[in-house]
Structure 1
Amino acid sequence: MKKIVMVVIVSLLFAVGCQQKEEPKQQFQPPIGQMPPGGIGGPGQGVDTAKLLQETVRKDPKNLKAWTDLGNLMMDTHRYQEAIDAYAKALELNPKDADIRVDMGTCYRNTGKPDIAVKEYKKALEINPGHVNAHKNMAVVLMQDFKDYPQAIKEFEKALEIAPNASDADAVRAEIKRLKALSKQ
Structure 2
Amino acid sequence: MENRNILIGLGTGLVAGLLGGFGLGYWIGSNQGHTHPAAPAAAPAPGMPGGMPPGMGQGQVEAFGRINATKAALERDPKNFDAWVQLGNDYFDTHQPQASVDAYAKAIELNPKHPRIADVLTDQGVMLRELKAYDKALANFKKANAADPKHLPSLLNIGIVYANDLKDTAAARKAWTRLVELAPDSPQGQQAKALLEAIQAQ
Question: How does the TM-score come out when normalised to structure 2?
Answer: 0.72
Partner residue in 2 for 1:42: none
Q: CA deviation at 1:170?
A: 3.2
Q: Give identity over the alignment, percent.
A: 30
Q: Deviations over 1:117-137 (max 9, x none)?
A: 011111111211111000001
Quickly say closer, same or farther: Cα 1:10–1:172, change in 2 above 3 A. farther
Q: Are residue 15 (structure 1) and residue 27 (structure 2) matched?
A: yes
Question: How does the TM-score come out when normalised to structure 1?
Answer: 0.78
Q: Are residue 94 (structure 1) and residue 111 (structure 2) matched?
A: yes
Separation in structure 1 between the aligned mates of residue 18 and residue 144 of structure 2, nearest angstrom: 30
Quickly say closer, same or farther: Cα 1:30–1:136, change in 2 above 3 A. farther
**Equivalent in 48, 56, 61 of residue 78 of structure 2:** 61
Q: Which has the higher contact order (CA 8 A, sep 6+)?
A: 2
The runs of 5 or more residues in structure 1 that have no matched partner are 37-46
**Equivalent in 154, 161, 169 of residue 181 of structure 2:** 161
Q: CA deviation at 1:172?
A: 2.1
CA contact 1:153–1:180 (8 Å) conserved in 2: no
Partner residue in 2 for 1:24: 34
Separation in structure 2 between the aligned mates of residue 179 and residue 150 of structure 1, nearest angstrom: 10
Please tell me the residue identity of whatever aligns with 2:109.
Answer: E
Please tell me the residue identity of whatever aligns with 2:34.
Answer: P
Partner residue in 2 for 1:41: none
CA contact 1:20–1:99 (8 Å) conserved in 2: no
Q: Deviations over 1:112-167 (max 9, x none)?
A: 11110011111111211111000001111111001111110111111122221113
CA contact 2:101–2:127 (8 Å) conserved in 1: yes
3-state DSSP of counterpart to 2:153: helix
**Equivalent in 57, 75, 83 of residue 92 of structure 2:** 75
CA RMSD of the aligned region, Å? 2.8
Runs of 4+ aligned structure 1 residues displaced above 6 Å come to: none
CA contact 2:18–2:198 (8 Å) conserved in 1: no
- Count of aligned residue pairs for this structure pair: 167
Q: Which has the higher helix share?
A: 1
